[in-house]
Copies of this chain bind each other. A is one copy, B any other.
Amino acid sequence: MSSPGHTDRTRSKRLPELASHDLADLQAILDAALVAHICVIDGDQPFVLPVAFARNGDRLYIHGSSKSRLFTQLATGVSTCLTVTLLDGLVVARSVFESSMNYRSVMVLGTCRVVEGQEKAAALQVISDHLLPGRWDEARHPNEQEDKATMVLALDLNESSVKISAGPPDDVPADVELPVWAGVVPLTEHFGEPIDAPDLPVGVAVPDYIRQWKR
C-alpha cells in the first residue's frame, strides 16, 4: 500500500495543507465510511454511483449484482475512481468566501478486478463485518444462486489521495473584528432505535451486537 498523494495526479496542488500522506488517515477514513462513490465511463459519459464497500488491508471490496451495467463495465478493468467523503461540520466564517465545510475524504484511483472463489467468500464477509458487525455469525450465508447473482470487485489501494479539512474558520484579520459570530457547527451521524421487520415472529429481540453499533 502506497502513501496517499505519492503520484503526480494525486498530489494536491491547490490547498496542499489539506493533504495527508499518512496511511493511518487513509485507513481510518475508509473504515469510518459506509458508502463510497465510484465512477464508470460509458463512451464519453461518466456515471457516478453509490456503493457499499469495505477495506481489507491494502484492498477495497465492493459488491453488486452480476447483471449491473456498472459492475460488468468495471469488471473489464477500465480506469476508475472511488471516493469516500465524511462531512464533519459547517465552517461559518465571517466572510462568505472563507465559509466552507470540515470533511475527510479519500480518492482512490485504479482498476477493479473480479474476485472469485475463496477470496470472494472472504470478501463478502469483510463487507458484512464492516457494514453490519457481528451479523455474519447469525445471518444465512449466500447459497449458490445468490453467489452467482453477486459480483465482487477488488480495488487495490496503490494510488490514492487524502484530504482533511478540520478546525475553525480562517478569516482574514480585518474580518475578525466584525461583530459577527464565527465558528463551526459540527455534523454527526447516529443510529436510531432499530425497527422490527413487520414479519418478525413474536419474541425475537434485537440482538446485543446490533444495539452496540455506534456512529
Contacts and interface: CB of A to CB of B under 8 A. Distances in A.
Interface of A: 9, 13-14, 34-35, 37-39, 41-42, 44-50, 52, 65, 67-69, 78-83, 85, 87, 89-90, 92-97, 99-101, 103, 105, 107, 109, 124, 128, 131-132, 135-136, 138-143, 146, 149-150, 168-169, 171, 175-201, 204-207, 210, 213, 215
Contacts of A136: 96
Given A41-B41, A101-B35, A146-B97, A139 B180 contact: yes
Nearest to A47: B81
A184 B180 CA distance: 43
A196 B91 CA distance: 10
Given A46-B46, A95-B142, A182 B197 contact: yes
A186 B193 contact: yes
**Binding site secondary structure of chain A:** mixed
Contacts of A210: 92, 181, 185
Contact of A79 (B46, B146, B201, B215): B46
A212 to B, nearest CB: 11
B109 A45 contact: yes
11 contacts: A35-B101, A38-B48, A48-B83, A90-B131, A90-B191, A169-B197, A181-B207, A182-B196, A183-B197, A185-B194, A190-B190
